[in-house]
């Protein structure tokens, strides 16, 4: 059974009216619209956030008993217009980073919405300067020199 939906709004680019037809969950047409539209409803492409540590009280840097709770981050970001994002894992011990990477992999495998929203992982550290100042808030105890083998291990997880 075919489902159709028509959205009418103003283009984020120029404020002119636009009518978007969606058939079976996919955009089937985009046309100019001369209809009278509310002045405060705009439409444009989804936003893309390359650094998301967490959102709405949930944190990608905390181990969760059930990764399904982390799937709420994608859903809540989507409500704000962020359709794609990179969970950011911050400097931590190599074993904890491994654990968090595996948690994100499991989340994507078990949650279709997270799979379509999470485009990769942003790893912030631990291969950063140990010097005060440039290191910022990253814990010095977990800062390590670049390690290609460790990085490759994480790629395979």
SS3 content of the chain, % helix, strand, coil (to 5): 30, 30, 40
Res 133: pLDDT: 93
Q: Say which DSSP state 68 is in.
A: G
Res 48: pLDDT: 96
What is the average per-residue pLDDT within 72-92? Answer: 96
Condensed to tens digits (0 to 9), the pLDDT of residues 139-155 reads: 999 999 999 999 999 99
Dihedral sign, Cα of residue 10, residue 13, residue 16, residue 18: negative
Q: What percent of the chain has pLDDT over 90?
A: 80
Q: Which residues pair with 132 in a beta bridge?
A: none
Q: How confident is the model at residue 81 (pLDDT cuts 50, 70, 90)?
A: very high
Res 66: pLDDT: 79
Res 53: pLDDT: 96
- Cα-Cα-Cα-Cα dihedral of 49, 55, 56, 61, to 10°? 160
Which candidate, 10, 61, 64, 71, places its Cα nearest to that of 36? 10
130 within 8 A of 93, measured Cβ to Cβ: no
Res 145: pLDDT: 96
Condensed to tens digits (0 to 9), the pLDDT of residues 24-52 reads: 888 999 999 888 877 788 889 999 999 99
């Amino acid at each position: 059974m075919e489902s159709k939906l028509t959205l009418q709004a103003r283009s984020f680019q120029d404020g002119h009216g636009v009518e978007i037809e969606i058939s079976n969950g996919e955009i089937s047409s985009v046309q100019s619209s001369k209809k009278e539209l509310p002045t405060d409803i705009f439409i444009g492409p989804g936003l893309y956030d390359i650094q998301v540590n967490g959102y709405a009280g949930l944190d990608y840097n905390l181990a969760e008993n059930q990764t399904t709770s982390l799937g709420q981050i994608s859903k809540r970001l989507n409500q704000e217009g962020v359709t794609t994002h990179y969970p950011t894992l911050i400097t931590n011990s190599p074993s904890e980073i491994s654990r968090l990477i595996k948690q994100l992999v499991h989340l994507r495998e078990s949650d279709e919405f997270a799979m379509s929203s999470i485009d990769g992982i942003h790893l912030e550290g631990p291969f950063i300067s140990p010097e005060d100042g440039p290191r910022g808030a990253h814990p010095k105890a977990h800062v390590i020199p670049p390690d290609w083998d460790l990085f490759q291990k994480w790629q395979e997880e």
